């Protein structure tokens, strides 16, 4: 299930057809990190941030995520050609060339750095390290099953980025706790997603948690990660001094995480898209709504 589809758009760009670019970077997955960045900004402002902060934060987040996804497609190209699940990706079929993808990565990096510069000096200083941090994930699967947690930490930078876009002089405890909540949340659903490629990862000596530790242990690791997500979200509410609506939202999110875990069965992957995209696509906007209600009520 997807909230929207841009794959049919035929607008031509120097990097290929616009719809193909959106398919390559899975633009719809922006829903995972962007609400956390906005939540960090609202927490730092203790209300509505300036329009300038929100605009350049949003531009920077979309650019950073687009850079990371395009770079990931380049890094994974040798494996994507052999994996039946990924053989129709635009870079594999040749609809988008490697040269176009490299150029797209460069453009997104420039846009991200420019957006950070427009926010404040601290964000500018951290822009290049943030891009490098995001890029490292794409090669980690070759070496360690901790790749899922690195991906989680990459998205976990979102609330920190949101906070620093508004308040670069000091970093509160709440966005740090949100960082850990997002890190474990993403790691869990990325482990679920990796069940689809478990046999392929074993054959090609790639180190996902399911391939390295087996399906039963992988489910246990994911369940632990979801439990940690719930704990850190609860603590973030306390640290931010959010009012009672946040805790109602937190309880609902915890229930959704439990439902997600019960849906996942390694021997039956029919619900993997529901667990991976539908439920998680709901959770991140709900977190933002909970933060707003906790601030304003």
Q: What are the pLDDT digits (tens) for 23-61?
A: 777 776 677 889 999 999 999 999 999 999 999 999 999
Q: What is the pLDDT of residues 216-265, one digit of tens each?
A: 999 999 999 999 999 999 999 999 999 999 999 999 999 999 888 877 77
Structure tokens given for 239: 């640290």
Query: What's the average model confidence in pLDDT over 173-196?
Result: 94
Question: Is residue 1 included in any domain, yes or no?
Answer: no
Asked if 182 and 159 count as a contact pair (C-beta separation under 8 A), the reply is yes
C-alpha distances out from residue 118 to 110, 122, 125, 130, 288, Å: 12, 11, 12, 16, 24
* pLDDT at residue 262, rounded to an integer: 79
Residue 7: predicted pLDDT: 46
pLDDT of residue 293 exceeding 80, the answer is yes
End-to-end Cα, the chain, rounded Å: 33
| Domains contained in the chain, number | 1
- pLDDT of amino acid 83: 93
Of 179, 291, 297, 286, nearest in space to 246 by CA: 291
Q: Which residues of 180-198 are buried (b: 16+ CB within 10 A; e: fewer)?
A: bbbbbbbbbbbbbbbbbbb
Residue 267 has pLDDT above 90, yes or no: no
pLDDT in tens, 106-146: 999 999 999 999 999 999 999 999 999 999 999 999 999 99
pLDDT given for residue 6 in this prediction:
46
Residue 243 included in any domain: yes
Structural domain contains residue 60: yes
The percentage of residues in the chain with a pLDDT greater than 90, rounded to a whole number, is 71
CATH number reported for the structural domain that contains residue 200 in this entry: 1.10.357.140
Question: According to the per-residue pLDDT averaged within each range, which of 8-22, 85-99, 197-211 is highest?
Answer: 197-211
Whether the predicted pLDDT of 275 surpasses 80:
no
Report if residue 5 sits inside a domain. no
Print the domain residue range for 206.
12-296
Q: Is residue 257 part of a domain?
A: yes
Q: Is the pLDDT of residue 82 over 80?
A: yes
User: What confidence score (pLDDT) does residue 24 get?
Assistant: 78
Asked whether the predicted pLDDT for residue 1 surpasses 50, the reply is: no
Say which DSSP state 48 is in: P
The verdict on residue 6 lying in a domain is no
Residue 88 to residues 23, 82, 83: CA-CA distances in angstroms? 10, 11, 10
8 Å CB contact between 207 and 164: no
Positive or negative CA dihedral for 29, 262, 141, 87? negative
Dist CA 21 CA 29 (whole Å)? 13
In a domain, 4, yes or no: no
pLDDT at position 103: 92
Cα 32 from Cα 42, distance rounded (Å)? 17
Res. 193: pLDDT tops 80? yes
pLDDT band at 3 (very low <50, low <70, confident <90, very high): very low
Whole-prediction pTM: 0.91
Residue 2 resides in a domain:
no
Over residues 10-22, the pLDDT tens digits come to 676 776 677 778 7
The Cα–Cα gap between 194 and 28 comes to 19
């Amino acid at each position: 299930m997807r909230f929207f589809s841009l794959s049919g758009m035929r607008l031509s760009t120097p990097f290929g057809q616009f719809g193909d670019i959106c398919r390559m970077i899975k633009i719809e997955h922006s829903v995972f990190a962007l609400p956390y960045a906005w939540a960090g900004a609202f927490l730092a402002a203790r209300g509505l941030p300036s329009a300038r902060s929100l605009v350049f934060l949003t531009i920077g987040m979309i650019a950073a995520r687009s850079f990371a996804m395009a770079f990931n497609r380049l890094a994974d190209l040798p494996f994507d050609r052999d994996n039946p699940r990924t053989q129709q990706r635009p870079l594999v079929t040749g609809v988008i060339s490697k040269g176009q993808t490299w150029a797209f990565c460069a453009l997104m990096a420039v846009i991200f750095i420019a957006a950070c510069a427009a926010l404040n000096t601290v964000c500018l200083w951290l822009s290049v390290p943030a891009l490098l941090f995001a890029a490292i994930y794409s090669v980690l699967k070759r070496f360690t099953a901790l790749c899922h947690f690195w991906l989680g930490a990459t998205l976990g930078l979102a609330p920190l980025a949101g906070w620093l876009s508004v308040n670069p002089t000091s970093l509160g405890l709440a966005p740090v706790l949100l960082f850990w909540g997002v890190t474990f949340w993403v790691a869990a659903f990325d482990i679920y997603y990796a069940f689809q490629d478990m046999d392929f990862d074993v054959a090609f000596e790639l180190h996902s948690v399911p391939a390295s530790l087996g399906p039963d242990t992988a489910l246990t690791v994911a369940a632990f990660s979801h439990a940690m997500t719930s704990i850190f979200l609860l603590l973030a509410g306390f640290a931010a001094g959010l009012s009672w609506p946040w805790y109602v939202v937190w309880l609902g999110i915890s229930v959704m995480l439990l439902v997600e875990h019960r849906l996942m069965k390694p021997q039956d992957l029919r619900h993997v898209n529901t667990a991976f995209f539908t439920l998680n696509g709901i959770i991140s906007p709900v977190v933002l709504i909970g933060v707003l209600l906790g601030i304003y009520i």
